[in-house]
Every structure is written in C-alpha cells, then in structure tokens.
C-alpha cells in the first residue's frame, strides 16, 4: 500500500528525543517523552521534492518509524497498545533549523512546512510484528548515515502510545512519528535522502525517497521572524561541531585569564598546596578524589551543586524532572568546573556518561565530586576531566536528593564557593581563592625551579644535608647559577646545574 493510500489523518504527533543514541549525541536524556504536532498539510509521498527556501542553510532530515493508528483508543495500557496500531511505515521528519528561534520548541514553522513529512512508500501490517525489533535505516546520496532498532529506544513504542492516550484520544488513521536515532544531519539542494523500515522477517516499507531542491525564499519581515542561524543551530542540525565544520573552541575559563592559566598548567597541585599552607590555608584540598584518567590536568572556576541525603518524600518532589543536577549540567559554561557536594558518600553515582557528555559538549572544564561515578569506564573515555571517589553502579536516588546549586558547599572536607579556582592533577584537587591565585602560582613555579635545580645536584652526587632545604652556601650557588645562566660552577670542584627553562613562567 502506498503513502497516498494512507488517507488523511486527524493528527500527526511527533516525539522529540526517544533513542539512546540520539540522547548521547545531543548530550541530554529526557526523563519522559515529549511531543509536538505536525500539520496534515506537511504530508508528502515517496519521490516528492523537499524544498529548502532560497537564502536558508540548515534543512535537516530525520529518518523515523511512523505508526499508523488502526483503532481508536483512550487510556490505553502499554500491554494493549500495539493492538491499536494498524501499520508501520517509514517517515522523514524534515525541519528547517533557520526557523527554530521563534518557535520555542513547538516546531510549527520549522517542521510544519509543505512536504516536510514524507511517508511510505509501503505499509507494514502491525499484526505479528515485534514492536521492539523494527529496524530503521537512512541513506544520504546512497551512503548509510542512520541505522538503529526500536530495541534501543529510551521509551518503547508501546509506552508512547499509552502515554499519548492518557491525554487525548488516538483515532484511527492518526500518525505517530516516533523520533530519530543518531546520524540525522543536513541536506542541500541536489541531495537525495532515503529512509526504510524493515523487520527481521523481511517485511519492509520500501525506500522513502526525498529529493532536495531550492524553493522560494521571499520571507516578509513585516509578518514575522525571519530565518536566522548561529553556531548553536548549526551544531544541532549537523549533529556535532565537527560535522558542521565548526572549530573546537578552546576558550579560557571564566575568571582564569590566559596568563594565569599558563602558570597553573605548569604548577603542580602539590606545589600549590605547599604555597597555600605557607599563607595559612590548611583546608583547601578536596580530599579523597582521583581522576578517572591518570595524567589529567584540571583548571577552571567552580560551579557548585549540592546533594542532600536521600529521603523518599523529598526525592519525589526534587529528584525527578529537570532537577538541580540536570539544570547545572545543562547550563554549565565553558571553563567552569562542576563541583558536587555528596558528603563523601560513595554508595551511589553522582553523575554518569550522559551528564558527563553534556558537560563536555558545553565546554565545561571538568567535574569534581566527593561521591561516586556511574558508567565509570565510559566517563573516562569522554574528553572531560572527572575527579571522584571512584566507581559505583547505583543511581543517584539510592543515597542522594539533588537539592540546590550555585551556593557555598562542602566537598571532600573543603569549602568551595562559586567562582573559586579549581586545579587538579594526579596528586589531587585544590581550591584557590581568585584574589591570591596568581601570587600562589608564581611562588609555586619559583619553588619548582629551585627543586628542579636541587634534584640535579642530588643526581650529581651531593648529599641533601644543607642542600634540601638550601643553606646560605647553596643558596648563594643557586643565585649565582640563576644570575649567570651558567651550567657549571667551580666551588670545590662541584657540579652546579642551571635551573631548567620554564618558558618565561618564573618570577
């Protein structure tokens, strides 16, 4: 049966993020499905041309599985949901990202344009089909760009049907577009995009073919918002900054200028700790945390998040939805370190791979938690410094309620305020008040130069007595070596080795 024989549905309902692969790609995983409507006038058949208006840039395709409701239902249970599906077919949920800005997620202009919902070409009868074994594939100009199965969906197809039916009546002929997996991207005039749905038994929708052409672009600014794009929309439409041809920006952390950052890169945490102690600061190390990847250097300014001990009634009100934890990970700025107060409780994870990926995609400098980390090995592979108490498989709610953010917290026995400078390496993590950070870094680098020079003397055979720490005699020799830039001294025939070059980062 062809797409034209679908008839005219009463409504077309589309799902936002529904596949695990898409959530990982976007760096955000929804707790519950969310939806938007597409107008019936956006329907098209296989072979119909999809137009990108002249002057626009981001026409994005999304291969999807479409469900055609076969029998009307309201308040349908998940166990009965599939019985209300008459057929399955392929769909392409086209969208013009140039028009997203003014629609606030409704997608009316972005995805509601004529021919932006092609369906077909053939229908697969739903009876006898396992709803968790359908396969979706998409090709762009003959190259496979999307492939996934319904078994990897965050929300099973039966859950989508049941959820929608508790809010509105699903009528025979209605169409549900069930979301797209990773790999959706941008097409240009001249491209051809094909989508196909099939089953393990060999049933297939056939290939839904959508040629792309240039269309009219004469938008009237007196009537509404004009198309516009920025790098955020380019990244979303293409799927990643790299796919969009955007540079991977490396900006200094807020509050950490390039000069100070270079010094902190060179200064070890042990040296910074020593200098802080000289200034009377004995409680500025976050104790008990280690990096998921040895050799990691962490520099950034603190963005704080606090968990309180789990209490079931409080978790019910604060643990679900867009809670404090998700708000911080979804809004962290470039160069910020998310510092989590978990009270040293290692009995559950305080973040996992999806949140780590979201923080990395937003340019966060890292995460420090005095709790555990789920999906530990996967988090270690993400390009994001993470310091924690170690791995734990349990979810957050076993021990914690995400409570509030952007306030003074305690982490690993130390007080952390928003905007504090956080530095970490293999020795641990230290907190530097911004007002003294550069002075501390300078002093630590000076001490590093001295220690490197002392180490060379020890290697040359000198005893440490009087050398470490330096007495007046050795201090004079060190000052002479620094002043002369010499590599040899002749005091009593002893070898004096010059301090190493530190690329101008010394005092």
Please enumerate in sequence order all residues whose Cβ is within 8 A of that of 195, keeping only pairs 6 or more positions apart, or say none. Answer: 63, 64, 90, 91, 92, 136, 137, 138, 139, 207, 208, 210
Sorted by where each begins, the domain ranges of the chain are 3-238, 258-438, 445-493
CA angle 312, 307, 318 (to 5 degrees): 45
SS3 87: strand
Class of domain 3-238: alpha beta
pLDDT for 253: 46
pLDDT for 254: 57
Q: Which 8-state DSSP code applies to residue 330? A: H
Distances (CA, A) of 332 to 53, 66, 324, 503: 35, 36, 12, 32
pLDDT for 475: 87
pLDDT for 484: 59
Residue 211 has pLDDT above 80, yes or no: yes
Residue 505 has pLDDT above 70, yes or no: no
Q: Which of 396-405, 448-457, 475-484, 498-507 has the highest mean pLDDT?
A: 396-405
CA angle 491, 493, 496 (to 5 degrees): 65
What's the token pair of residue 244?
Answer: 């969009």
Task: Tell me the pLDDT tens digit for each residue of 266-301.
Answer: 999 999 999 999 999 999 999 999 999 999 999 999
CA angle 77, 64, 202 (to 5 degrees): 85
pLDDT for 255: 64
Asked which of 251-255, 271-275, 314-318 is least confident by mean pLDDT, the reply is 251-255
Give the whole-number percent of the chain exceeding pLDDT 90.
73
Asked which of 10-19, 169-178, 451-460 is least confident by mean pLDDT, the reply is 451-460
Q: How far apart are CA 505 and CA 255, in angstroms?
A: 19
Q: 258-438 maps to which CATH number?
A: 3.50.30.40
Q: Would you say 328 and 305 are in contact if contact means Cβ atoms under 8 Å apart?
A: yes
pLDDT for 179: 96
Task: Tell me the pLDDT tens digit for each residue of 108-139.
Answer: 999 999 999 999 999 999 998 999 999 999 99
Residue 258 has pLDDT above 80, yes or no: yes
- Which comes out higher in pLDDT, residue 2 or 267? 267
Mean pLDDT of the region 226-235: 88
Task: Tell me the pLDDT tens digit for each residue of 57-108.
Answer: 999 999 999 999 999 999 999 999 999 999 999 999 999 999 987 787 789 9
């Amino acid at each position: 049966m062809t797409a034209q024989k679908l008839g005219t549905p009463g409504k077309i309902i589309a799902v936002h993020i529904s596949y695990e692969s898409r959530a990982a790609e976007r760096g955000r995983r929804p707790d519950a499905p969310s939806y938007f409507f597409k107008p019936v006038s956006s329907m098209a058949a296989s072979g119909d041309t999809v137009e990108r208006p002249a002057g626009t840039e981001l026409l994005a395709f999304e291969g999807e599985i479409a469900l055609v409701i076969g029998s009307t239902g309201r308040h349908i249970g998940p166990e009965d949901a599939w019985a209300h599906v008459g057929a399955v077919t392929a769909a392409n949920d086209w969208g013009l990202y140039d028009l997203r800005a003014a629609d606030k997620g409704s997608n009316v202009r972005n995805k509601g344009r004529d021919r932006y919902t092609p369906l077909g070409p053939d229908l697969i009868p739903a009876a006898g089909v396992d709803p968790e074994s359908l396969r979706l594939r998409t090709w762009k100009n003959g190259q496979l760009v999307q492939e996934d199965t319904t078994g990897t969906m965050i929300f099973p197809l039966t859950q989508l049907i049941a959820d929608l039916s508790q809010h509105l009546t699903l009528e025979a002929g209605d169409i549900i577009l069930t979301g797209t997996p990773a790999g959706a991207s941008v097409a240009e005039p001249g491209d051809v995009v094909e989508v196909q749905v099939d089953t393990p038994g060999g049933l297939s929708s056939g290939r839904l073919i959508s040629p792309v052409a240039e269309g009219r672009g004469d938008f009237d600014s007196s009537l509404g918002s004009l198309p516009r794009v920025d790098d955020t929309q380019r990244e979303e439409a293409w799927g990643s900054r790299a796919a969009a041809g955007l540079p991977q920006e490396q900006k200094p952390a807020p509050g950490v200028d390039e000069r100070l950052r270079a010094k902190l890169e060179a200064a070890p945490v042990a040296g910074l700790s020593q200098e802080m102690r000289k200034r009377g600061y004995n409680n500025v190390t976050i104790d008990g945390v280690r990096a998921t990847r040895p050799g990691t250097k962490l520099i950034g300014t603190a963005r704080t998040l606090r968990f309180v001990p789990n209490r079931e009634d409080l978790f019910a009100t604060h643990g679900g939805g867009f809670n404090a934890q998700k708000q911080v990970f979804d809004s962290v700025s470039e160069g910020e370190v998310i510092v989590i107060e978990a009270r040293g409780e290692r009995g559950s994870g305080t973040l996992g791979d999806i949140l780590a990926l979201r923080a990395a995609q937003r340019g966060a400098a890292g995460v420090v938690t005095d709790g555990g980390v789920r999906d530990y090995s996967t988090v270690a592979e993400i390009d994001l410094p993470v310091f924690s108490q170690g791995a734990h498989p349990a979810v957050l709610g076993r021990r914690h309620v995400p409570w509030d953010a952007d306030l003074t917290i305690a982490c690993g026995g130390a007080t952390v305020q928003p905007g504090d400078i956080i530095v970490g390496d293999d020795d641990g993590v230290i907190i530097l008040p911004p007002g003294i950070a550069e002075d501390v870094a300078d002093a630590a680098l000076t001490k590093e130069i001295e220690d490197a020079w002392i180490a060379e003397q020890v290697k040359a055979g000198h005893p440490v007595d009087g050398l470490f720490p330096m007495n007046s005699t050795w201090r004079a020799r060190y000052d002479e070596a620094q002043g002369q830039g010499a590599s040899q001294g002749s005091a009593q025939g002893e070898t004096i080795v010059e301090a190493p070059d530190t690329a101008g980062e010394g005092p």
